[in-house]
Amino acid sequence: MISGLFLVHWAEAEGSYAHSEVLLYRQYHNDLPHPQVLFSKFDSVYKLQEEYERTPFISVDGINFAYIPGDNGIFVVVVSRRNIDAMSAVLFLHQFYGTLCHYLCDTNTGGDSGSENNKPRLQKLHKDTIIDNFNLVYELFDECMDYGIVQLTDYNILKEYIKVEANRPKIVGVESMNADSSSDSSSDEETTKKKKNKNKNKGKTIKEHKDVKSTHNQAVKTDVISPESTYINSSILRSSASSISWRPKGIFYAKNEIFIDMIESCEFAYDLESQFIKRNEIRGVCDVKCYLSGMPLCNLGFNETKISGIASSDDYDLEGNQLANVEVEDAEEEQTSAKEHTRVPISNVQFHQCVDLSTVYRNNIIKFIPADHKFTLMSYRVEQQKQRRKLPLIMLKPTYVVNTGEKTLQVMCELSTHFKKRLRANNIQIVLPIDPHIFSPSASNPDFKYKAQLGDVSYKIDSSQLLWNIESLVGSQSSVKMMAQLNLDSCLETNELFSYIRRENTEFKNQPEPQENEADIDSLDQFYGVNGASSSLAPKLHDLSKKMRNFSDINVRFTIPMLSYSGLKITYVKVEEEQMKYTCFPWIRYLTQSNYDTSLSQTNMSSNYIFNLGPSSFQVI
């Protein structure tokens, strides 16, 4: 039984000045001290722990803390003097934090959803946002937990009877400001014209109001019923205690649709020295956006007949497939016989609570009554190394050429794609590191040059990285090349260079920092630009970039719509509603991505697509 639920902000400070600040809390039992005294004990233990030592649990003086860190230093903490279920506490914290983000983080945008400028953006939770919406947070405290016992954390249910609007800052864009200014100027012109023609329009104004004969017709005729935003579904309380607690009754939509997104994030690591794939995995989710009336029963089938993990050679042929008449391009090439079918090595499958697990194990069909609006139906993992026929989607061949005579660094990169030509990879970004321990780019002669067949190249001095951005690239590209050149102030010798690359010499990482007096004198000279010191911030940014840990990996980011890298596809969709018997419109979308926190996914997954540099990637002239 939980004694208290707290929202805490960890103030960013160094050393002993770091402390936590209690923003809002609800205490369910009177067995805890004052929050200030309580979290002084929490701080005393948390500050002494290293980052790798910190776990979600802290116990001090007979008080048990369970916490999860969020964005911008926000912590969600539950406190108890009793021995509570640790996994249940952590699960509640994650679900409560997600519900809090749903209410307080604005994900809505105006305009057309297809335009690039109006993509859904997810604002992160902030300290001020929580304080400004204290009344909404206290309602969540009361509804999600009662007397220390977890009650309800499903946002789709809570939103039906917690109708408090979040107090979010409204940011006015430049376009809207220009539109307002133009409308103001036009209104000023209209007022001047009206003043000039005031005497001429006296007769016209009388004629305009000639049709109004009485004030009875000017009465407010709006309905007595409050607007839709304040509606409360009467079946909410009954559904929260029923067996189907995730979906209330009485839901109605004029057009019944269901959107299914199969989003796969690639975890890929390739060693350029040994030319060996060290890791090739996929973490996928099936996100559903449901706009269906009543209590529909949905059936979902995949091309993988062993989705449950139980070997079965029997094929299933079910009636009522609403995808049976859909024309798919290159369907003949993708269809294979049952004998030639290669199994997708899917594992670690986790389902939403709405899924009937008996049908999954018995028929390999996912049968569920969906929650309203957005939810994650399932998540899974696929080991691509077990599929030898699967090639990496994007391959790189980088080369660093160091010219010690001219003190220049040339970075050449060759890119190739290995997916179908009819598909396109969007928003490709290749991050090439420039190790500041080896190379010192010139601040006095920052002559940066590049030439690329596609996209543009830029150099970030604060992180010491080359960024190659390509807006769009088709599949089956054999070679796309890029070359960039940087001027150097200094560079290591050949022997030192290769010894550092092999990680045999670490003295460059552990160079002693200058004394305080010397650092103060240098900073003053740099501020005033005297004693030969430059006032440019480039040397300071270069020194700050040395604190970054990893400069041996090339990171690739991309998104490929309409591609399922694992080969897992939806082949069967059927939606039934016994009472209404309407026609449903299913929409299916596939997306393969790398290192992107896209708002399409409710789990906000991120992944790494990296290439490890080796000595063969460097050449010295």
Tell me the CA end-to-end span of the chain in Å, nearest whole number. Answer: 69
* 106 band by pLDDT with thresholds 50, 70 and 90: low
* 339 band by pLDDT with thresholds 50, 70 and 90: very low
**What's residue 257's pLDDT?**
94
Token look-up 């290192």 returns: 595
Higher-pLDDT residue of 529 and 32 is 32
Structural tokens at position 165: 């609007």
Residue 2 exposed, middle or buried by CB count within 10 Å (0-12, 13-18, 19+): buried
Distant-in-sequence, close-in-space partners of 224: CB < 8 Å, separation ≥ 6: none
**What's residue 447's pLDDT?**
78
Ranked by mean pLDDT, the top range of 176-190, 216-230, 244-258 is 244-258
Q: Which residues of 124-154 are buried (b: 16+ CB within 10 A; e: fewer)?
A: ebbbebbebbeebbebbbebbbeebebebbb
Query: C-alpha angle 279/282/285, rounded to 5°?
Result: 160
Element (H, E) at 144: helix 134-144
Strands 553-561 and 585-594: antiparallel
Q: Which residues of 453-462 are buried (b: 16+ CB within 10 A; e: fewer)?
A: ebbebebebe
Higher-pLDDT residue of 72 and 220 is 72
**What's residue 320's pLDDT?**
67
Q: Which residues in the chain are classed under CATH 3.30.450.60?
A: 4-158
Higher-pLDDT residue of 230 and 151 is 151
Considering all CA atoms of the chain, what is the largest pairwise distance in Å, rounded to the nearest integer?
99
Strands 394-403 and 618-620: parallel
The radius of gyration of the chain from alpha carbons, rounded to an integer in Å, stands at: 31
Q: Which residues in the chain are classed under CATH 2.60.40.1170?
A: 257-390+565-596, 394-512+537-559
Structural tokens at position 324: 């049976």
Alpha-carbon span 98 to 79, nearest angstrom: 19
Q: Which pLDDT tens digit goes with each residue over 241-283?
A: 567 878 888 889 999 999 999 999 999 999 998 888 888 889 9
Alpha-carbon span 456 to 470, nearest angstrom: 7
CB 394 within 8 A of CB 610: no
Q: Which residues of 346-379 are buried (b: 16+ CB within 10 A; e: fewer)?
A: beeeebbebbbeeebeebbbbbbbbbbebbbbbb
Alpha-carbon span 326 to 477, nearest angstrom: 29
CB 558 within 8 A of CB 429: yes
The whole model's pTM is what? 0.69
CATH no. of 4-158: 3.30.450.60
Distant-in-sequence, close-in-space partners of 203: CB < 8 Å, separation ≥ 6: none
Residue 343 is given by DSSP the state P
| Fold held by 394-512+537-559 | Immunoglobulin-like (2.60.40)
Distant-in-sequence, close-in-space partners of 505: CB < 8 Å, separation ≥ 6: 496, 499
Q: What is the mean pLDDT of the chain?
A: 76
Superfamily of domain 257-390+565-596: Mu homology domain, subdomain B (2.60.40.1170)
Query: For the ranges 101-115, 156-170, 217-231, 304-318, which has the lowest average pLDDT?
Result: 217-231
Q: Name the percent of the chain lying above pLDDT 70.
A: 65
Ranked by mean pLDDT, the top range of 228-237, 491-500, 507-516 is 491-500
Element (H, E) at 495: helix 494-501
Higher-pLDDT residue of 210 and 131 is 131
Element (H, E) at 182: helix 174-196
Alpha-carbon span 179 to 99, nearest angstrom: 36
Query: For the ranges 20-34, 178-192, 505-519, which has the lowest average pLDDT?
Result: 505-519
CB 539 within 8 A of CB 462: no
CB 452 within 8 A of CB 481: yes
> Read out DSSP for 522-537?
HHHHHHHT-TT----S
Alpha-carbon span 394 to 555, nearest angstrom: 11
Higher-pLDDT residue of 121 and 76 is 76
Q: How many CA atoms lie within 13 A of 581 on its CB side?
A: 2
Backbone angles phi, psi at 104, to 5 degrees: -100, -15
Q: Name the percent of the chain lying above pLDDT 90.
A: 31
Alpha-carbon span 290 to 371, nearest angstrom: 7
